[in-house]
Amino acid sequence: MIQQLADWLIYGLLGLSADTALGSALNFFIYDSIKIVLLLFLISVIMGIVNAYFPIERLRNYLTSHRLYGLQYLFASLFGAITPFCSCSSIPLFIGFVKGGIPLGVTFAFLITSPLVNEVAVAMFLGTFGLRITLIYVVSGILLGMIGGFVLGRMKLEPYLSDWVRQIQQNASADFNTWEREHTPFVKRLPSILREAWSIVKGVLLYIIIGIGIGAFMHGYVPEGFFEHYLSRDNVWAVPLSVLLAVPMYANAAGIVPIIEVFVAKGIPIGTALAFMMAVVGLSLPEATLLKKVMSWRLIGIFFGVVTLIIILSGYLFNAIL
């Protein structure tokens, strides 16, 4: 129905031809905009229900009071996956984890996964690539956070935190056992969940429009073979090149997924496209600047280096199996 609406608006009402670059680009823009906004609102409501009954205090309490034999990395990554934050807005919560006494490796698992996997990205991937690729994307993002957090945790990097953070750690209490769950009926919570879901949509709507606009332009006007030449499967350096090019191109998932859709449509292997997206949303210069408040440059370099290496390896793996 959405495609029929887009066809009617562009090819019927406006009278543009599907064979022209402008007609193709505008049709892409209308179809993707409506589809992604609807999916985003629906999944935001679902994630709002999850967040309402599984708040951060419960995660902190559980991680600091149980022996989990490594599963804490999984729990932190899952929590990162259901929180709607970009790499920069994840940092205040990262600081809260560190203040709460949660191990640094577990905190890194959250910081890595949070911008990579959230309801915005899942909604857009589901509408763009279908269920199979969406599941691969979600699972790989969670695994990336787990592996990265585990590796960074084993490196004993606490001495490279800033003096400010270490002082807070010494003074902060890690006892969250006083938290009590609010037994509010679901019917009373639903209006606030719907408002929050709509606020998420409004908060990223501009990025969605810009991202889809860029994707529509590329879809209609970029010549065939342009991307294949530089990021093709035959180019052994395509994956690391895509990751290096992505770092200065900071954006959130709402802005980058439509561009990835065009990459794939132009013939870029899905692994290379996913590696590009993960680098764009998970590694950025603004994030490094904000992290300087809580880490030394040495720790930031180690963090970025480990995550970059894992993203590149993931890209090669996806290209091999997909």
The whole-angstrom separation of Cα 16 and Cα 2 is 18
Which of 67-76, 218-227, 281-290 has the least mean pLDDT?
A: 218-227
pLDDT of residue 179: 39
pTM of the model: 0.64
- Kindly state the average pLDDT of the residues 130-139: 87
- Kindly state the average pLDDT of the residues 3-29: 83
pLDDT, one tens digit per residue, over 225-265 is 656 666 776 778 888 888 887 766 656 666 677 778 878 87
pLDDT, one tens digit per residue, over 25-74 is 888 888 878 877 787 688 678 767 766 666 555 656 666 566 666 788 88
The whole-angstrom separation of Cα 316 and Cα 320 is 6
- Kindly state the average pLDDT of the residues 92-97: 64
Q: What percent of the chain has pLDDT over 90?
A: 2
The whole-angstrom separation of Cα 137 and Cα 118 is 11
- The answer, yes or no, to whether residue 314 has pLDDT greater than 50, is yes
pLDDT of residue 180: 41
pLDDT of residue 90: 57
- Kindly state the average pLDDT of the residues 273-291: 75
**127 is written with which tokens?**
């509408």
pLDDT of residue 231: 72
Determine the number of helices (DSSP H) and then strands (DSSP E) in the chain: 16, 0
The whole-angstrom separation of Cα 123 and Cα 43 is 6
- The answer, yes or no, to whether residue 266 has pLDDT greater than 80, is no
pLDDT, one tens digit per residue, over 166-212 is 665 565 444 434 334 456 677 778 888 888 778 767 766 776 677 67
Strand intervals (E) in the chain: none
- Kindly state the average pLDDT of the residues 9-26: 83
Q: Where are the alpha helices (DSSP H) in 222-296?
A: 226-231, 238-246, 253-265, 270-282, 285-291
Burial of 317 (C-beta count, 10 Å sphere; 0-12/13-18/19+):
middle
